[in-house]
């Protein structure tokens, strides 16, 4: 990164970094560099994946050494610049150092294998030159100038790459269908409608390495015979949209997009379509309807999009992560990609670690890694040393797995066998303070709201399930409710038109399977052991710990808390509405719910 | 022009009686296939919401049935048929935020401002919306006020954050 002999500072400038305060850090860096006498360069990059320590700066020294610093603030900037200029290492701020890759939080990265995220955090996503300097667009050039479409499809088939949007359909086979489909015009669509709550890897790739996705699309378009590409991206990702715009414009300038690209007689261009907020548009046929300007409602298949897709023409749809892996596969060969992973799941998968995990962020690991390796070796285990309770995989379509299944490998078939799904890659870790019934209710409230309403099992079935879950959480559950949930779930899964309905019961079914005792506690003992469901808890003050500061009494909206100054306070359970506002106010953490 | 701080919304968005911005938008997508959603998106960006007047003019100008526009506008969560307040509060209810207590954040906003998802305060100062995952899960729970992200929130800190956006009158009421 610092070929010209100068030390270079690279600021993580993705959405998560900016949300954590990277904009203010950037301003401070620019200000200090303009007034101070430093021989330093400053650049930005997308998310490195160390979301738990944002804002982050990586310092690249001329000798090749690199140090990542985290939790930066504008106040820390002068000290950071002085250290970078003098070569001093600020030990207390270090997140990772290249000369000791497992020190500090380094094993977060050391335990990963990055292919899709290979450039994220390493290059300025708004600079096509930096991408080219790292070998960018060489794979597209190779594909278009030296390979036939069939050879490309063959290479992708050999790699074993499967759709990373969640369904896991073999990409090479899918391309083959689109290649063989008859049509004067074919389309390629990049599905960037990342709607799963808790999943942000597509956003990170689009923000951190937009050219990799575009390059993947150029190769895919040529392979299937599509001259027009679309990127369907959520409107909620303004930074990703901005960087895609910049990247596409730069590609047109270089002759990588447009007419006669790479000096061949092949034409290919890309249009961006902004999604308008509908989870169901992640489904292929709904996504197509949305691009056509209609309500995003799925339709029965066949005909499959490969034969009749956008505007009735053959259309191939791939997820962001799938397309971002393609240039690497063409550059390095399908066989090399297939060396990673398990028998049926090849290559790597990006996961978004979040929830009660200590290191939340982006984790790309080879298929076959166990959940334990991802959560503990990469993620550093559960926060505050608490006990692991569950991991939620695959968002609203996925499921919750208990500690006993932590040795399940990351593999499409192995994860499906547990009742969860690989999904797009969200991985939310739960500890003892998470109520599994409430979590199931949360996902059902999501799918119920996002159901497009077209077919009855999904539209009404999810509503009935949500009603049952809500009453269980409110302490009004009936003994027959568990069976009712199971019957409804089976019917919805069997009879729904698309995958939204077909997978919506998964969070309920997996929690019923692995955490049934929590449901039973709610129904029979009227108790929420995690202390979450308001109707089933009592908020209390630990008399031993309370210092009588009165902060809780002042914030209580119903004046349920009383006590003498500097004496332990208490809560009147008859008045308390269990809003738990006092819990977050207490400086001594003396208040608890049970 | 008068001192601009009386009503910021009029500066941010065009008046619904002024159809000039709409004409530009219609021109932008003239002859483009499947432009209904971008038309609505751009119109909302210009006017802040999709007023009936705007929808009617859009239907006429682009050759759609009003029902088509209404059908699409009510299907997607991005579109608003009501104007929003001066400050837009978006509370993230993604999975990570839910697990971290997003419900309590929304509840505290309701305690302070008296509004729930989709509602606007009578003085048009605040609108609160629930959003699904903004993708900054490591900072959960999160709320975004206008363009500012406030992460790792505690319910007890919500009032302090909102105070920054309140005019003096509200602060004196405290």
Predicted local distance difference test score (pLDDT) of residue A3: 54
In chain A, residues with a C-beta closer than 8 Å to the C-beta of B156 are: 555, 581, 584-585
Are the beta carbons of B138 and A16 separated by less than 8 Å?
yes
CB contact under 8 A, A19 and B95: no
Q: Is A391 helix (H, G, I), strand (E, B) or coil?
A: strand
Q: B155 contacts in A (CB within 8 Å)? A: 580-581, 584-585
- A504 SS3 class: coil
Q: Which segments of chain A have a pLDDT < 70?
A: 1-4
Nearest to B156 by CA among A542, A591, A74, A18: A591
Q: Is the pLDDT at B170 greater than 60, yes or no? A: no
Cα of B141 to nearest chain A Cα, Å:
10
- A187: helix, strand or coil: strand
Q: What pLDDT is attached to residue A594?
A: 87
Is residue B31 less than 8 Å (CB to CB) from chain A?
no
* Minimum CA–CA partner of B75 in chain A: A295
pLDDT of residue B138: 87
Identify the structural domains of chain A with CATH numbers, from first to last: 7-109 (3.40.30.10), 128-337 (3.40.50.11540), 348-431 (3.10.20.600), 436-525 (1.20.1440.230), 538-593 (3.30.70.20)
Hey, how many other C-beta atoms are within 10 angstroms of the C-beta on A245? Answer: 13
pLDDT higher for B65 or B132? Answer: B65
Fold of the CATH domain B87-173: Glutaredoxin (3.40.30)
- Tens of pLDDT, residues A419-463: 999 988 999 999 999 999 999 999 999 999 999 999 999 999 999
Among chain A residues, the shortest Cα distance to B77 is held by A277
Measured CA to CA, the distance from residue A313 to residue B12 in angstroms comes to 41
Do A557 and B111 touch, CB atoms closer than 8 A?
A: yes
Please tell me which residue of chain B has the smallest CA distance to A359.
Answer: B138
What distance in Å separates the CA atoms of residue B63 and residue B142, rounded to the nearest whole number?
41
How confident is the model over B67-124, as pLDDT tens digits?
A: 999 999 999 999 999 999 999 999 999 999 999 999 999 999 999 999 999 999 999 9
Distances (CA, A) of A307 to A176, A280, A304, A311: 11, 21, 6, 11
Would you tell me how many other CB atoms lie within 10 Å of the CB of residue B13?
A: 17
Pairing of strands A57-60, A40-45: unpaired
H-only helix segments in A68-166: 77-86, 107-110, 128-133, 138-146, 149-159
The set of residues, in sequence order, having a beta carbon less than 8 Å from that of B161 and lying 6+ positions away, is B143, B145, B150, B153
Residue B18 in this model has a pLDDT that exceeds 50: yes
Contacts of B71 in chain A (CB under 8 A): 295
Burial of A50 (0-12, 13-18, 19+ CB in 10 A): buried
**Closest-CA distance of chain A to residue B6, Å:** 29
Residue B171 has pLDDT above 60, yes or no: no
Segments making up each domain of chain B, as ranges = 4-75, 87-173
State the pLDDT at residue B11.
Answer: 61
Main-chain phi, psi angles of A211, to 5 degrees: -65, -30
The per-residue pLDDT for A2 is: 46
* Chain B residues touching A555 at Cβ < 8 A: 156
Contact A244, A210 (CB under 8 A): yes
Q: Would you call B158 an interface residue with chain A, using a CB distance cutoff of 8 Å? A: no
Residues 138-157 of B with CB under 8 A from A: 138-140, 142, 149, 151, 154-157
Residue of A nearest to B107 (CA): A579
pLDDT for the residue A352: 95
Residue in A12, A326, A323, A404 with CA at minimum distance from that of residue A147: A326
């Amino acid at each position: 990164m610092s070929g010209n002999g100068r030390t270079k500072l690279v600021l993580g400038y993705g959405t998560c970094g900016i949300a954590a305060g990277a904009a203010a850090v950037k301003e401070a860096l620019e200000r200090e560099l303009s007034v101070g006498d430093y021989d330093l360069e400053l650049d930005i990059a997308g998310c490195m994946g160390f979301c738990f320590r944002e804002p982050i700066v990586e310092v690249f020294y001329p000798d090749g050494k690199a140090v990542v610093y985290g939790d930066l603030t504008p106040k820390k900037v002068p000290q950071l610049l002085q250290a970078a200029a003098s070569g001093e290492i600020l030990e207390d701020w270090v997140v990772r150092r290249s000369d000791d890759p497992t020190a500090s939080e380094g094993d977060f990265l050391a335990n990963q294998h990055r292919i899709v995220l290979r450039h994220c955090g390493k290059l300025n996503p708004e600079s096509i030159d930096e991408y080219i300097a790292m070998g960018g667009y060489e794979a597209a050039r190779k594909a278009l100038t030296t390979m036939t479409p069939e050879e490309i499809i063959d290479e992708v088939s050999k790699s074993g790459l499967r759709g990373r949007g969640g369904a896991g359909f073999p990409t090479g086979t899918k391309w083959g269908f689109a290649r063989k489909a008859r049509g004067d015009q074919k389309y390629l669509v990049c599905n960037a409608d990342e709607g799963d709550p808790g999943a942000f890897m597509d956003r990170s790739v689009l923000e951190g390495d937009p050219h990799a996705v575009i390059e993947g699309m150029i190769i895919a378009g040529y392979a299937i015979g599509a001259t027009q590409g679309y990127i369907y991206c959520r409107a909620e990702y303004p930074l990703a949209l901005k960087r895609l715009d910049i990247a596409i414009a730069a590609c047109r300038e270089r002759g990588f997009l447009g007419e006669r690209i790479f000096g061949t007689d092949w034409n290919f261009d890309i249009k961006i379509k902004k999604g308008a907020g509908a989870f169901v548009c992640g489904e292929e046929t709904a996504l197509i309807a949305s691009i056509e300007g209609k309500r995003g409602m799925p339709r029965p298949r066949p005909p499959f999009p490969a034969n009749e897709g956008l505007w009735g023409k053959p259309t191939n749809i791939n997820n962001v992560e799938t397309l971002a892996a393609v240039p690497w596969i063409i550059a390095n060969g399908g066989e090399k990609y297939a060396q990673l992973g398990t028998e049926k799941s090849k290559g790597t998968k990006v996961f978004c670690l979040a929830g009660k995990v200590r290191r939340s962020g982006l984790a790309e690991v080879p298929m076959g890694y166990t959940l334990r390796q991802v959560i503990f070796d990469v993620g550093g285990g559960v926060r505050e040393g608490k006990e692991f309770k569950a991991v939620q995989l695959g968002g609203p379509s996925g499921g919750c797995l208990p500690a006993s299944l932590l040795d399940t490998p990351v593999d499409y078939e192995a994860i499906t066998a547990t009742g969860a799904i690989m999904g797009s890659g969200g991985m939310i870790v739960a500890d003892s303070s998470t109520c599994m019934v409430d979590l199931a209710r949360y996902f059902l409230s999501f799918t119920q709201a996002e159901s497009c309403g077209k077919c009855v099992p999904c539209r009404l079935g999810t509503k009935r399930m949500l009603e049952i879950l809500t009453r269980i959480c409110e302490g009004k559950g009936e003994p027959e409710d568990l069976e009712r949930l199971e019957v409804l779930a089976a019917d919805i899964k069997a009879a729904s038109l698309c995958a939204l309905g077909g997978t919506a019961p998964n969070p309920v079914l997996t929690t019923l399977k692995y955490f049934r005792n929590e449901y039973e506690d709610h129904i029979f003992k009227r108790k929420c052991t995690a202390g979450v469901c308001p109707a089933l808890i009592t908020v209390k003050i630990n008399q031993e710990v309370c210092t009588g500061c009165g902060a809780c009494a002042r914030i209580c909206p119903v004046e349920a808390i009383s006590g003498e100054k500097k004496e332990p306070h208490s809560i009147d359970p008859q008045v308390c509405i269990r809003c738990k506002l006092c819990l977050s106010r207490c400086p001594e953490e003396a208040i608890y719910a049970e | 022009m008068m001192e601009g701080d009386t009503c910021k919304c009029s500066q941010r968005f065009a008046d619904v009686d002024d159809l000039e911005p709409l004409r530009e938008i219609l021109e932008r997508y003239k002859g483009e296939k499947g432009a209904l959603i971008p038309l609505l998106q751009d119109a909302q960006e210009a006017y802040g919401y999709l007023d009936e007047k705007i929808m009617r003019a859009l239907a006429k100008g682009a050759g759609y049935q009003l029902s088509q526009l209404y059908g699409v506008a009510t299907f997607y969560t991005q579109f608003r048929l009501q104007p929003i307040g001066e400050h837009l509060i978006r509370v993230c209810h993604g999975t990570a935020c839910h697990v971290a207590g997003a419900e309590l954040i929304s509840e505290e906003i309701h305690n302070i401002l008296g509004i729930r998802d989709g509602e606007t305060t009578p003085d048009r100062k605040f609108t609160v919306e629930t959003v699904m995952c903004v993708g900054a899960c490591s900072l959960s729970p999160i709320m975004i006020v206008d363009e500012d992200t406030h992460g790792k929130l505690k319910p007890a800190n919500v009032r302090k954050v909102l105070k920054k956006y309140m005019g003096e009158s509200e602060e004196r009421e405290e």
